[in-house]
Structure 1
Amino acid sequence: MDIERFKHQHVEILDGIASLREFAHAGIKEHAYEIARAVVALSTVVKLHLAIEDRILYPALQNGPDARLAEMGRAYQDDMKGIANAYIAFSRRWTAAAIIAEKAEQFRAEANVVLKTLHGRMQKENTEFYPAIEAM
């Protein structure tokens, strides 16, 4: 199975997270506009990635001949639901620069939790899930 598209999207997602981290470190209030734009851009990639995984990757694995990969895919899909819901709620809440600037510390606290979780998931897929798919 060719998963290059998924891997490329992971690079985009990880780059987006890194960009948000850089803006936050440089000053949330001072970079609220850039942060809002980065949240919107990241959300576009994340939502596309989730949709393609749900419509193509997971069904292909679950209907494939490898029972171990089918189960791994189910587990990854189930685990991602909570992560996706948390990220989508975060991204909806933080798209306006004025709100980000006004509630900078709340943004920082939520971003630290949600983006750390998303980052960890991308790394886990890159080191465990995708290699298992490519090995089949």
Structure 2
Amino acid sequence: MEIDRFKKQHVEILQGIATLRKLAHAGIEVNAREIARQVQALGSVITLHLAIEDRILYPSLQKGTDTGLAEMGKVYQEDMKGIASSFIAFARKWSVAKVVAEQAEAFRAEANTVLKVLHARMQRENTEFYPAIEAV
């Protein structure tokens, strides 16, 4: 199965997380507009990534002959539901510069939680899930 587009999107997602961290460290209030823009951009990439996974990747794994990989896909898909829900709520809340600037510490706390979980998930997919898919 060809998964290069998923890997490319992971790079974009991880770069987006890194950019948000840099902006937050440089000052949330002064970078509120760019932070909100980056949250929107990251949300777009993640939404597209999730849609493609749900429409193409996971169904393909379920139709395949490798039952272990099919089960792994189910576990990853189920796990992502909670992560996606948290990120979508995060993106809706923090995509407005005024809100980011007025609630800087709340943004920092929520970003640390949500983006840490998202980052860990991307790394797990990169080191476990995608190599398992490519091995088949």
- TM tier relative to shorter chain: over 0.9
Alignment partner, residue 100 of structure 1: 100
Identity percentage of aligned residues: 69
Once the 2 structures are TM-superposed, how far is the Cα of residue 61 of structure 1 from its aligned partner? 0.2
Offset from partner CA, 1:13-35 (integer Å, 9 cap, x none) = 00000000000000000100000
Once the 2 structures are TM-superposed, how far is the Cα of residue 6 of structure 1 from its aligned partner? 0.1
Aligned-residue RMSD, C-alpha: 0.3
Q: What secondary structure is seen at the aligned counterpart in 1 of 2:76?
A: helix
Partners of 1:10 and 1:66 in 2: how far apart?
24
Once the 2 structures are TM-superposed, how far is the Cα of residue 72 of structure 1 from its aligned partner? 0.1
Alignment partner, residue 80 of structure 1: 80
Amino acid at match of 1:111: A
Alignment partner, residue 91 of structure 2: 91
Once the 2 structures are TM-superposed, how far is the Cα of residue 95 of structure 1 from its aligned partner? 0.8
Partners of 2:109 and 2:62 in 1: how far apart?
37
Offset from partner CA, 1:42-81 (integer Å, 9 cap, x none) = 0000000000000000000011000000000000000000
Runs of 4+ in 1 over 4 A off after TM superposition: none
Once the 2 structures are TM-superposed, how far is the Cα of residue 12 of structure 1 from its aligned partner? 0.2
Offset from partner CA, 1:66-109 (integer Å, 9 cap, x none) = 00000000000000000000000000000111110000000000
Amino acid at match of 1:42: L
Partners of 1:79 and 1:96 in 2: how far apart?
28
Partners of 1:76 and 1:5 in 2: how far apart?
18
Partners of 1:30 and 1:99 in 2: how far apart?
13
Amino acid at match of 2:104: A
Alignment partner, residue 68 of structure 2: 68
Alignment partner, residue 6 of structure 1: 6
Gaps of 5+ in 2: none
Matched positions, count: 136
Amino acid at match of 1:49: H
Q: What secondary structure is seen at the aligned counterpart in 2 of 1:53?
A: helix
Return the TM-score normalized by structure 2. Answer: 1.00
